[in-house]
Copies of this chain bind each other. A is one copy, B any other.
Amino acid sequence: MLRKITVAAAQVGAIDLGADKKDTVERLIKLLREAAEKKVQLVVYPEATLTTFFPRHFIESQEELDKYFEHGEDITQSPDVKPLFDEAKSCGIDIVIGYAERTPDGTGYNTSVYFSAAAGKVISKYRKVHLPGRVEPFEDPNATNQLEKRYFKPGDLGFEAFRAPGLVNDAVKKADIKEGESTDGKGDPIMGMLICNDRRWPEAWRVYTLQGAELLMVGYNTGGYMSHLWGGKSIPPEQAEKEALFHSRLVQQANSYMNACFSISSARCGMDDGKYHLIAGSSIVDPEGHVVAESKTSGDELVVAEVNLALCRQGKERTFDYGRHRRIETYSLITQQTGLVEPELL
């Protein structure tokens, strides 16, 4: 039983506030060409890949803010970004890429899309549900902000799993079909996208894997050194980075295991503008929670692994066979209430 595909996290290093988007896209294309040489079929870029992580800045001018967003319905037609999708199609590689989306009605979302080379278009869009940070900037003008709640609305598309066509070839598909089963639609991987903070919320993973997801794709921008400036907590930079990497890896491994799925997580990392540090740690994790590939640098880097989606079955059919083991009658608080039953009690 083999359903192997070759995948990659395309980690992207520092991007300064004033970077030219064309230059950034050129870097992404370079990673894509490396992927093509390595016979990679799917490349996952980070969250908000096209610019610096601008929610760390309090930007009052709408005109300036809009520079960091992609406008319009179809990102594959954004002039600066179109060359990336054209290259993906010509290489026959699927890509996931995160960007700041401005809809025609002016709403901002922290978005990612799945571009299928076989379909020649975007076949799924996800908008980040769990926005961290605040609406108002810190009073201290030297503090590093996190203003996602100001610039974006929570995603309105839910967690919709989808199948990507063409990644698993017909011969492999047939080998995977049990006797007597229909072959309609079988074999194509069931996937879902998450963005950054979403990966810390087990609800997000579960909603995808209740739809059968076998592979989750996560892009992130996660503060390392600078995190000691958030909320007034002061710890040494090295310790802050180590702790941020630990948490990022921990949730990736545990949620992959508890949901019996592969995950690919891709970091925007390095030191933006010489002073804003983001952790690296891009990785590919298997359904047993083991890291099968990880980044070695804090810059542009392709992290490649061949994954066999059939390995999800061990978990999905035994320990995490939802149909036999989940007890939904005991979970009602999860959807009944957002926060604590009696928050004043804490």
Contact = CB atoms under 8 A, between A and B. Distances in A.
A328 B338 contact: yes
A233 B333 CA distance: 37
Contacts of A131: 325
Contacts of A273: none
A316 to B, nearest CB: 7
A258 B200 contact: yes
A323 interface: yes
Number of chain copies forming the complex: 2
A251 interface: yes
A251 B247 contact: no
Nearest to A134: B324
B202 A346 contact: no
Interface in A167-195: 181-182, 185-186, 190
A211 B339 CA distance: 9
A324 to B, nearest CB: 8
Contact of A202 (B130, B132, B202, B316): B202
Interface of A: 129-132, 154-155, 158-159, 181-182, 185-186, 190, 197, 200-204, 206-207, 210-212, 214, 231, 233, 243, 246-247, 250-251, 253-255, 257-258, 288-289, 313-314, 316, 318-328, 330-346
